[in-house]
C-alpha cells in the first residue's frame, strides 16, 4: 500500500494529482502545516527537510520505499502506474524530465515567492511583489509559447510534467493573475482542470 503525506499546497496537490492519475490504491495522510505537524519525529524520519509531499510504498523495488520531493514522487508514481504518465520511450523521457524539473525546481519555487509576498508576508513590500509578479508573467509567457507548439508541455502526451506545473497556474488562474493574455496556457489549464482525477485530487480528503 502507498501512503501519501500531503497538505493543501501547490506541492501537495502535485503529488495528490499524480496519485489520482496513477489509479494506485493509497492512503492519504494529511500533515497539517499550520499545526507544524511536519516537525513531528515520525514525519522527519520520512522527510528530513520537514516538507510535504512525501510517499511511503511498502511494495517498492527492493522493499519499502520512502521518498520526498514532488518531482521524484511524480516520476515514481508514473513509472509504477505504467500508464504513460512517465513514458517508457527514452526520447520522450528526456522531454518529460526537462519540463518536470522546470516545473518543480524553477517555476514553483518562484511562484511560491509571489504567494508569500502577495498573501502571507506581514509587511507590504511593493518592489518585491512587482518583481515576483513580473517573474510569474514571464513563466506564463514561456508556458504559453510552448503550449502553442505542442499539446502538452513534454509533447503530444499528458505527463507528470504537466502535473508538476498545474497547481501554481491553477491557483493564480483562479485569482485572476494568470488569465486573459495566455490563450494556449488557458486551453491547457482548462483541459487539465476537466479531468476526473483532478477533481478528485482537489476535492475533500
Ligand atoms: N521542492 C519541494 C518543495 C516542498 C515544499 O516546499 N513543501 C512545503 C509546502 S508547499 C512545506 O512542506 N513546507 C513546510 C516547511 O518547510 O516546514 C517539492 O517539490 O516537494
CATH code for the domain in which residue 33 is found: 3.40.30.10
The predicted model scores a pTM of 0.96
**Same domain, yes or no: 118 and 168:** yes
**Does residue 204 fall inside a structural domain?**
no
Q: What percent of the chain has pLDDT over 70?
A: 99
Q: What are phi and psi of 55, to 5 degrees?
A: -140, 140
Q: What are phi and psi of 155, to 5 degrees?
A: 140, -140
Q: How many Å apart are CA 63 and CA 55, to the nearest integer? A: 14
Same domain, 67 and 99: no
What is residue 174's predicted lDDT score, i.e. its pLDDT? 81
Q: Which helix (H) or strand (E) holds 95?
A: helix 90-101
Same structural domain, 54 and 114: no
The boundaries of the domain holding residue 128 are 90-199
Say if residue 176 is exposed, middle or buried (CB neighbours under 10 Å; 0-12, 13-18, 19+): exposed
Query: Is the distance from CB of 74 to CB of 82 less than 8 angstroms?
Result: no
Query: Is 191 found in the same domain as 114?
Result: yes
98 and 136 belong to one structural domain: yes
Interval 142-162 mean pLDDT: 98
Tell whether ligand 1 has an atom less than 6 A from the beta carbon of residue 10: yes
In a domain, 205, yes or no: no
Total domains present in the chain: 2
* Residue-wise pLDDT tens digits, 80-102: 999 999 999 999 999 999 999 99
Q: CA 8 to CA 202: how far, in whole Å?
A: 8
The per-residue pLDDT of the chain, averaged, comes to: 96
96 lines ligand 1 (CB under 6 A): no
pLDDT tens for each residue of 174-191: 887 766 689 999 999 999
Higher-confidence residue of 178 and 153: namely 153
Tens-place pLDDT, residues 18-28: 999 999 999 99
Closest residue (by CA) to atom 13 of ligand 1? Answer: 51
Same domain, 181 and 98: yes
- Dist CA 33 CA 150 (whole Å): 37
What values do phi and psi take at 156, rounded to 5? -75, -20
Ligand 1 centre distance from Cα of residue 202 (Å): 18
Q: Is 142 exposed, middle or buried (0-12, 13-18, 19+ CB in 10 A)?
A: middle
What are the backbone dihedrals phi and psi of residue 30, each rounded to the nearest 5 degrees, phi first?
A: -60, 135
54 lines ligand 1 (CB under 6 A): no
Say if residue 71 is in the same domain as residue 109: no
Domain assignment present for 187? yes
Give pLDDT, residue 175: 80
In a domain, 9, yes or no: yes
Q: Look up residue 118 and give its three cell numbers.
A: 502577495
Q: Is 95 found in the same domain as 134? A: yes
Pairing status of strand 2-6 against strand 26-30: parallel
Regarding whether 105 and 70 lie in a shared domain, the answer is no
Give the residue from 37, 67, 84 where a domain finishes: 84
Residue 53 CA to ligand 1 centre (angstroms): 7
CATH number where 142 lies: 1.20.1050.10
- Kindly give the distance from the C-alpha atom of residue 200 to the centroid of ligand 1, in angstroms, as a whole number: 22
Amino acid at each position: 500500500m502507498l501512503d501519501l503525506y500531503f497538505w493543501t499546497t501547490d506541492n501537495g496537490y502535485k503529488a495528490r494529482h499524480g496519485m489520482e492519475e496513477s489509479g494506485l490504491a493509497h492512503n492519504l495522510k494529511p500533515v497539517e502545516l499550520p499545526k507544524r505537524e511536519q516537525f513531528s519525529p515520525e514525519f522527519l524520519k520520512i522527510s528530513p527537510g520537514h516538507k510535504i509531499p512525501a510517499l511511503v510504498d511498502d511494495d517498492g523495488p527492493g522493499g519499502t520505499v520512502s521518498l520526498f520531493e514532488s518531482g521524484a514522487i511524480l516520476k515514481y508514481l508514473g513509472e509504477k502506474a505504467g500508464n504513460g504518465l512517465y513514458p517508457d520511450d527514452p526520447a520522450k523521457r528526456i522531454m518529460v524530465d526537462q519540463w518536470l524539473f522546470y516545473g518543480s525546481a524553477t517555476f514553483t519555487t518562484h511562484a511560491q515567492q509571489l504567494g508569500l509576498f502577495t498573501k502571507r508576508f506581514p509587511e507590504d513590500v511593493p518592489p518585491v511583489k512587482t518583481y515576483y509578479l513580473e517573474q510569474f508573467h514571464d513563466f506564463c509567457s514561456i508556458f504559453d509559447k510552448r503550449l502553442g507548439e505542442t499539446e502538452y508541455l513534454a509533447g503530444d502526451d499528458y505527463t507528470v510534467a504537466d502535473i508538476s506545473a498545474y497547481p501554481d497556474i491553477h491557483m493564480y488562474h483562479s485569482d485572476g493573475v494568470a488569465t486573459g493574455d495566455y490563450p494556449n496556457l488557458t486551453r491547457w489549464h482548462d483541459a487539465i482542470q476537466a479531468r476526473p482525477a483532478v477533481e478528485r485530487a482537489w476535492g475533500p480528503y
